[in-house]
């Protein structure tokens, strides 16, 4: 009997209104069904939003340090359950179990970071123009936040969004990706156990086009935080524009690692390999392009090919496996299509370039770690996110060309440069159009205490994690206190001339 999971609304686990369900399957073994989840519709979303609205006044009135304590408990519970959640994650979306533990750890880190913010949430103060007058700012919650999350970091990303939202005093409705609903359920279970009051956290499973769309257009939602594709992100932003909601977007990436001729090539190989094939290339921050200096390119690619061919691909629950499956059949087909198209346009397969479907791979969606050389900027593979274990290699003659190639891209999330030249490293940190630049490190592995996000079509100017997440999930209230006991008109409303210079005075 396959378990039927539920939505979480108010304080209860409830079935979806329509009774329609979808299957959650193991990408390493399509015959393994993890559970059935509700296909929520507008009725379910209405109920979730109503619960979140009802909970808002009390939650925002609770002192932030007390909200923080709940987040600390959530962090501790996640730490206790790390192994169970990690194994469920591997089974549900395929990432190898070592990385799944890291995903849970990122959520734990975020819980403690946000919990600590409960005692900070710093505002500003500045001198006022008039005597006996005080001005200061406080962060106030935005309201009901719809959090729409992807499957590739099924616990970490809900945590990046929910914990900052909650510490700021918002209530939330989470709509997780259809490919990782069980992890989201575990995450919400932990929050409920940690003592989040009724209605503060709600969970509605289902499809983006139904549950997601219903949330985004809902009049009771004040903010939408979305991580996913550029196309869906643009549609979400358009709808939020129409209904004047706050919206924060984390969209695609086409991250490049630049390898200069003076680089430590063994270190660069370690970093490029990990960045390209870690999480089967299914990170927004994955190294999707390698820009290699022409002098070292051939030897460097040879080294990478040898290492890529030694990677063990398989079921991520097996501790020896280094590269898991793609999340679903559609993703596998997309990778196959993109590689074939690039080859038709003249790219060369240095290794991989095919699905793995025999023997132990026959029941899952596996693709061989792939390196394509002779990739040029006119190919789709140079510009479009693959979200798979595919590295596109392009060579360059000098630093300026490397930067031009790097920046010839609609996205700008993560970037990396390998060099021993401190001047080149600092120039790259300045010149690469990206939200994140790593010097002598892979494009993946961002830490939660720093802003996370990108420029250009990667987002709409927001940064998650770090303190910057608070700017998404709170608004500034400015408070003026006049303790003079009389009407003091503001400087702009008095006849006194200030700052005009003596010449202008009558």
Site residues for ligand UN1, 365-404, by CB under 6 A, read: none
If we measure between CA atoms, which residue out of 70, 16, 74 comes closest to residue 43? 16
CA 236-473-410 angle, to 5 degrees, is 45
445 binds ligand UN1 (CB under 6 A): yes
Nearer to ligand UN1, 41 or 158 (CB): 158
What is the closest distance, in whole angstroms, from the C-beta atom of residue 451 to ligand UN1 in the complex?
12
CB nearer to ligand UN1: pick between 156 and 292: 156
For the record, the structure tokens of 328 come out as: 């679903």
Give the contact letters, 450-469, x = binds to ligand UN1 (CB under 6 A), - = no: --------------------
Instruction: Give the span between the Cα atoms of 146 and 52, in whole angstroms.
Output: 10
Nearer to ligand UN1, 40 or 110 (CB): 110
Q: What is the DSSP string of 235-304?
A: HHHHHHHHTT-EEEEE----EEEEE-TTS-HHHHHHHHHHHHHGGGG-STT-EEEEEEETTTHHHHHHHH
Closest separation in Å from C-beta 370 to ligand UN1: 19
* Window of 192-200, 385-393, 418-426, 439-447 that interacts with ligand UN1 by CB under 6 A: 439-447
* Residue 254 touches ligand UN1, criterion: CB under 6 A: no
| Number of residues located near ligand UN1, criterion CB under 6 A | 9
Cα–Cα nearest to 415, from 456, 355, 377, 381: 456
d(CA 384, CA 36): 33
Tell the smallest beta-carbon distance from residue 465 to ligand UN1 (Å).
8
Binding mask 316-345 for ligand UN1 (x = CB under 6 A): ------------------------------
Please give the C-alpha separations between residue 313 and each of 94, 216, 323, 357, 386, in angstroms, as whole numbers. Answer: 11, 38, 5, 11, 18
Contacts with ligand UN1 in 146-165 (CB under 6 A)? 152-153
Cα–Cα distance between 78 and 88 in angstroms, integer?
13
Q: Which stretch binds ligand UN1 (CB under 6 A): 84-92, 135-143, 359-367, 438-446?
A: 438-446
Q: Kindly indicate which of the ranges 115-123, 230-238, 283-291, 362-370 contains the residues binding ligand UN1, using the contact rule CB under 6 A.
A: 283-291
CA dihedral 411, 412, 413, 418 (to 10 degrees): 120
Q: Pick the stretch among 80-88, 92-100, 129-137, 442-450 that binds ligand UN1 (CB under 6 A).
A: 442-450
Q: Residue 379, exposed/middle/buried by CB under 10 A (0-12, 13-18, 19+)?
A: buried
**Which 8-state DSSP code applies to residue 484?**
S
Which pairing describes strands 455-456 and 414-418: parallel, antiparallel, or unpaired? unpaired
* Residue 89 to residue 182: CA distance in whole angstroms: 8
347 binds ligand UN1 (CB under 6 A): no
Choose which of 283, 289, 462, 463 interacts with ligand UN1 (CB under 6 A).
283
Q: Are strands 125-127 and 133-141 parallel, antiparallel or unpaired?
A: antiparallel
Contact characters 98-137, ligand UN1, x per CB under 6 A: --------x-------------------------------
Spatial distance between the Cα atoms of 95 and 326, rounded to a whole number of angstroms: 9
141 or 435, CB closer to ligand UN1?
435
Task: Give the contacts of 501 (CB within 8 A, at least 6 positions apart).
Answer: none
Given 40, 185, 255, 285, the residue binding ligand UN1 (CB under 6 A): 285
Phi, psi (deg, nearest 5) at residue 54: -65, -30
Residue 55 Cβ vs ligand UN1, minimum distance, rounded to whole Å: 28
Phi, psi of 219 (to 5 degrees): -65, -20
Among residues 145, 168, 240, 284, the one annotated as catalytic is: 284
Among residues 41, 115, 40, which one has the least CA distance to residue 75? 115
96 near ligand UN1, judged by CB under 6 A? no
Q: Is 261 in the site for ligand UN1 (CB under 6 A)?
A: no
Provide, rounded to whole angstroms, the least separation between the CB of residue 17 and ligand UN1: 31
Which span (282-290, 299-307, 327-335, 488-496) binds ligand UN1, by CB under 6 A? 282-290
| Interacting residue with ligand UN1 among 45, 402, 446, 469 (CB under 6 A) | 446
What would the two tokens of residue 245 be? 């909601």
Strand, coil or helix: 115: helix
Cβ closer to ligand UN1: 148 or 444?
A: 444
C-beta of 156: minimal distance to ligand UN1 in Å? 6
Is-catalytic flag, 128? no
Q: Which residues are catalytic?
A: 284
What are the residues binding ligand UN1 (CB under 6 A)? Answer: 106, 152-153, 283-285, 444-446
């Amino acid at each position: 009997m396959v378990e039927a999971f539920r939505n979480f609304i108010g304080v209860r686990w409830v079935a979806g209104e329509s009774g329609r369900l979808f299957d959650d399957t193991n990408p390493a073994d399509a015959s393994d069904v993890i559970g059935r989840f509700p296909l929520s519709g507008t009725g379910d979303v209405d109920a979730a939003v109503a619960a979140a609205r009802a909970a808002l006044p009390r939650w925002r009135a609770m002192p932030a340090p007390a909200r923080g304590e709940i987040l600390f408990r959530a962090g501790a519970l996640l730490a206790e359950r790390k192994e169970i959640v990690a194994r469920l994650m591997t089974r549900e979306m395929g990432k190898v179990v070592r990385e799944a533990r890291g995903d849970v750890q990122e959520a734990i880190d975020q819980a403690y970071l946000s919990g600590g913010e409960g005692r900070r949430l710093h505002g500003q103060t500045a001198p006022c123009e008039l005597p006996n007058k005080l001005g200061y700012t406080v962060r106030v919650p935005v309201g009901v936040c719809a959090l729409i999350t992807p499957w590739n970091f099924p616990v970490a990303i809900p945590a990046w969004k929910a914990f900052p939202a909650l510490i700021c005093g918002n209530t939330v409705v989470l709509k997780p990706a259809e490919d990782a609903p069980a992890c989201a359920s575990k995450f919400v279970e932990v929050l409920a156990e940690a003592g989040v009051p009724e209605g503060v956290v709600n969970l509605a499973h289902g499809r983006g086009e139904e549950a997601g769309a219903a949330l985004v257009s809902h009049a009771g939602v004040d903010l939408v935080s979305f991580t996913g594709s550029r196309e869906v992100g643009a549609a979400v932003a358009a709808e939020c524009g129409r209904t004047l909601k706050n919206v924060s977007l984390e969209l695609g990436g086409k991250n490049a690692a630049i390898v200069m001729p003076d680089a430590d090539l063994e270190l660069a190989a370690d970093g490029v390999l990990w960045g390209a094939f870690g999480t089967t290339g299914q990170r927004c921050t994955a190294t999707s392009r390698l820009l290699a200096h022409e002098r070292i390119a051939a030897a460097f690619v040879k080294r990478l090919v040898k290492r890529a061919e030694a990677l063990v691909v398989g079921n991520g629950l097996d501790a020896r496996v280094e590269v898991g499956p793609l999340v679903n059949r559609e993703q596998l087909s997309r990778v196959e299509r993109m590689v074939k198209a690039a080859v038709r346009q003249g790219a060369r397969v240095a290794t991989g370039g095919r699905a793995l479907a025999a023997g132990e791979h026959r029941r899952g969606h596996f693709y061989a770690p792939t390196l394509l050389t002779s990739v040029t900027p006119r190919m789709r593979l140079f510009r479009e996110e693959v979200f798979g274990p595919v590295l596109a290699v392009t060579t360059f003659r000098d630093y300026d060309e490397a930067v031009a190639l790097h920046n010839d891209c609609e996205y700008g999330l993560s970037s990396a440069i390998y060099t021993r030249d401190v001047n080149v490293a600092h120039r790259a940190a300045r010149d690469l159009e990206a939200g994140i630049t790593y010097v002598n490190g892979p494009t993946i592995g961002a830490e939660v205490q720093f802003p996370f996000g990108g420029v250009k079509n990667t987002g709409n100017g927001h940064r998650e994690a770090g303190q910057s997440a608070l700017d998404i999930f709170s608004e500034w209230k400015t408070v003026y206190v006049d303790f003079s006991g009389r009407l003091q008109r503001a400087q702009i409303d008095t006849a006194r001339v200030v700052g005009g210079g003596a010449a202008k005075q009558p």
